[in-house]
Amino acid sequence: MIQESTLDSQNRVNKELTRARAELQGAGADWALLSSTENVTYVSHWETPNQYGPMSHLSYAPSLALFGVAEPASCLLVHNYYAAGARSQTAFDEVVGYDLVQLFAPYAKTSPKDNFVALLRATLGRHGLNRGKIKLAVEEGSLPAIVVQILAEDCPGVELLSAVPALTTARMVKTEREIELLRFAAEVINVGQKEFIRQCQTAGQSDWEMWAGITQAMQMRAARPLFVSGELVTGERCREIAPGGPVGYVTRPGDLARLDVSPRINGYWGDLTNTLVMGGVAPTAKQKLFKNAARAAFYAAADALRPGRRACDAFAAAEAAFAGHGLQIAHYAGHQIGITVNEAPWLIPSDETPIRVGMVFSIECGSYEGTAGQIGARVEKSVIVREGDPEIFPDFDWVF
């Protein structure tokens, strides 16, 4: 596990909030009200829960992060089932909560909507957003209509502007704390990938059994249940880019197997891929071709991730490596990773974002025959941009 004392000290500094404030100030904002899971997590250090299951239906509105841009005030608005957890993690000054449906005694009748509206109005008033002219940065894609309505009614001097460009820029280069969290997420996957390598030595298991063992290994390393996305693909389905996860296929010696897995841990994501041959048998010439091409493309793209170059340069390097093996690149060559599993910049021809020290990418190179063939391979690891050579992690093996 990550040393809590280290994270505690980094939480108190909250360089992420400092960066967000600097970018928002440059955009002309006085206050910000963030509403997306990723950006609330980024600025507050609270692992804002993914909205699924009972809480997604009980919650009236998303958790909100309200903070001053030029002044130090910061406040999380959450429902009371989340409040204790938020207070234990956040670097914000305060957490305020509202009641949902009471699922425990005394089961008093309550209105989540009315409670949320009352809390929002009181919080906006307490911080002075209902007085004078204020430029408020919001996320137009996730801000609820009820919040816009309350702002119009209670804060007539508020002018809304988009927080998205500023937050995208703030998040582009990772802080030391973020890199530590990304390393831990990658190490959890590393354990899963090594379990995958062990499983591939023997054929005869179903892909469901394999997936269960892989995810169990990761959760044991994380010492907590995980939110996991991704897929395990076996047999001829490896010829396609994303055919979905386990289907009950029982593996045979010589089958390809591909694990592309992405857990969310402490609010940050990992995303790593390997392609192997089942049963401990030697790969065919075509299997070796596709795997070797994917690996060559990965290292070419990684070498192109140097300060001053562009995201599209890494794509071009990967594309050229595939072409050198007589294959075509099938999709982007990768993406940055952080509080979302797939974030800007992307390694695609149209992305000319300059590469900077401290960016963290998941380089993801693959080529596939498609439904007319049988073969496909993809590899993926994380890369930190440094002043010199890029740093590649974690250490699971790609060799067939």
Looking at residue 359, its amino acid is M
Closest CA to 154 of 122, 108, 114: 122
pLDDT given for residue 63 in this prediction? 97
Domains 4-171 and 176-393 belong to one CATH topology = no
Calpha distance 347→340 (Å, rounded): 16
State which fold the 4-171 domain adopts: Creatine Amidinohydrolase; Chain A, domain 1 (3.40.350)
pLDDT given for residue 56 in this prediction? 78
What's the pTM value of the predicted model, to 2 decimals?
0.94
pLDDT given for residue 54 in this prediction? 80
pLDDT given for residue 52 in this prediction? 78
The tens-digit pLDDT sequence of the chain (400 residues) is: 555 545 555 456 899 999 999 999 999 999 999 999 999 999 999 999 987 778 778 889 999 999 999 999 999 999 999 999 999 999 999 999 999 998 888 899 999 999 999 999 999 999 999 999 999 999 999 999 999 999 999 999 999 999 999 999 999 999 999 999 999 999 999 999 999 999 999 999 999 999 999 999 999 999 999 999 999 999 999 999 999 999 999 999 999 999 999 999 999 999 999 999 999 999 999 999 999 999 999 999 999 999 999 999 999 999 999 999 999 999 999 999 999 999 999 999 999 999 999 999 999 999 999 999 999 999 999 999 999 999 999 999 998 8
pLDDT given for residue 367 in this prediction? 97
Calpha distance 30→158 (Å, rounded): 10
> Taking the domains of the chain in order of start, what are their residue ranges?
4-171, 176-393
Q: Which CATH class is domain 176-393?
A: alpha beta
pLDDT given for residue 260 in this prediction? 98
200 within 8 A of 213, measured Cβ to Cβ: no
